[in-house]
Amino acid sequence: MALRLRWKRQRLLLRIWRNRRQIVPHVDRTQSITPTAILAFTTLRNEMLRLPYFLDYYRKLGVAHFLIVDNGSTDGSVEFLAAQPDVSLWTTAHSYKLSRFGMDWLGWLQWQYGPDHWCLTVDADELLVYPHCDSRDLHALTAHLDKNGQSALGALLLDMYPKGPLTNASYAKGQDPIAALGWFDGAGYRHRLHPVFGNQWIQGGPRDRMFFRADPDRAPTLNKTPLVKWHWRQVYVTSTHHMLPRRLNHVFDWPAKTVMTGALLHTKFLPDIAARSAEEVERKQHFENSVLYVDYYQKLIENPDLWTDGSMAYKGWQQLVELGLIAPGAWR
């Protein structure tokens, strides 16, 4: 197994190197990156609704520079990002699906600019929270991780949703999306050891109970490793769910939950979800088996209500610790 995974990692690194020319620099400000800078890496398309808050949120947490790949936006995202002084922007018209859902493109940027930096890899609809995030920024967090010899932070992808049909939620560009998507599932998550990567494979939440009840093994994977102290030999395998070398996947110790973890508040279900889902049914770029996921996107187009009597109103990271969804570890 170790030998096979070593070969897999080398093949992925070679693939990243081969595909490096698929992304073209649009605005390159990487010369401003300092040795202690915390970097954020993102691939996106048509995220103008989320971008103002997304950038401000991570700036306040301590991200110094954003390295972003735009995959054919038509909503003004490129122009907006190009005007941001802490953003370096690449563009591409190549297939998101065939680039391993953008990981080949980000892999090249991480290879070039990430080594020796703490690197945050998130989608534009993901907001990282962790114990004490309201009083301790990413510099404090990564200093603690460095001190404890922890080179990565795991996070549970926590789907946020409104009360009522999805498109009925009220949201304006620049607002905190959690004000519109204030509910989540506080229980119903299951985990098992991944047979190949050795990490905790976590599933559950509203998408699981609403769209994948008949076949829960197909439900979205919720374990992610978004924050990593980077080395050029490292590589993401499937989105940020799995990494190589395999030791980087040991970021959850459920059910003990003694290792520090965070959560990614997933703001996928803003009022634009029906229109975006209709577009993805046509593009077939966001899921590996297009036939299997057409039904899922079709149900989103129909404007469902994810809220139930068991839904919980989000109150902050302390609540997630109390529910056992994130863990403070030794950081008190």
> Is the Cβ–Cβ distance between 60 and 30 less than 8 Å?
no
Q: Is 63 helix (H, G, I), strand (E, B) or coil?
A: strand
Q: Would you state the structure tokens that stand for residue 292, as one six-digit string?
A: 């299997």
Tell me how far apart the alpha carbons of residues 177 and 54 are, in angstroms, rounded to a whole number. Answer: 9
122 residue type, one letter:
V
pTM of the model: 0.95
Tell me how far apart the alpha carbons of residues 246 and 2 are, in angstroms, rounded to a whole number. Answer: 9
Give me the residues of the chain with pLDDT under 70, please: 281, 283-293
Q: Is 114 helix (H, G, I), strand (E, B) or coil?
A: coil
Quick one: pLDDT at residue 154? 97
Question: Can you spell out the DSSP letters for 77-111?
Answer: HHHHHHT-TTEEEEE--S-TTTTTTTHHHHHHHHH
Q: pLDDT by residue (tens digit) across 203-228?
A: 999 999 999 888 898 899 999 999 99
Cα distances from 96 to residues 4, 8, 99, 191, 288, in angstroms, run: 26, 21, 5, 29, 11
Tell me how far apart the alpha carbons of residues 220 and 206 are, in angstroms, rounded to a whole number. Answer: 10
Quick one: pLDDT at residue 281? 66
Instruction: Report which of 259, 228, 258 is spatially closest to residue 243, judged by C-alpha positions.
Output: 228
Tell me how far apart the alpha carbons of residues 19 and 10 are, in angstroms, rounded to a whole number. Answer: 14
- Residue 74 C-alpha from the chain's centroid: 22
Quick one: pLDDT at residue 287? 58
The owner of tokens 């946020």 is: 160
Q: Would you state the structure tokens that stand for residue 254, as one six-digit string?
A: 């459920």
Q: How far apart are the first and last CA of the chain?
A: 37
User: What own/partner pairs with CB < 8 Å and gap ≥ 24 does 193-200 have?
Assistant: 194/242, 194/249, 196/1, 196/5, 196/242, 197/237, 197/242, 197/243, 197/244, 197/246, 197/249, 198/246, 198/249, 198/250, 199/223, 199/225, 199/242, 199/249, 199/250, 199/251, 199/252, 200/252, 200/253, 200/254
Cα distances from 83 to residues 25, 66, 77, 216, 221, in angstroms, run: 14, 12, 10, 43, 34
Cα distances from 211 to residues 202, 224, 286, in angstroms, run: 16, 21, 16
Tell me how far apart the alpha carbons of residues 22 and 91 are, in angstroms, rounded to a whole number. Answer: 8
DSSP state, residue 74: -
Quick one: pLDDT at residue 160? 98
Q: pLDDT by residue (tens digit) across 151-168?
A: 999 999 999 999 999 988
312's enclosing H/E stretch is: strand 311-313
Q: What angle do CA 144, 119, 21 make, to 5 degrees?
A: 165
Quick one: pLDDT at residue 297? 78
Quick one: pLDDT at residue 110? 98
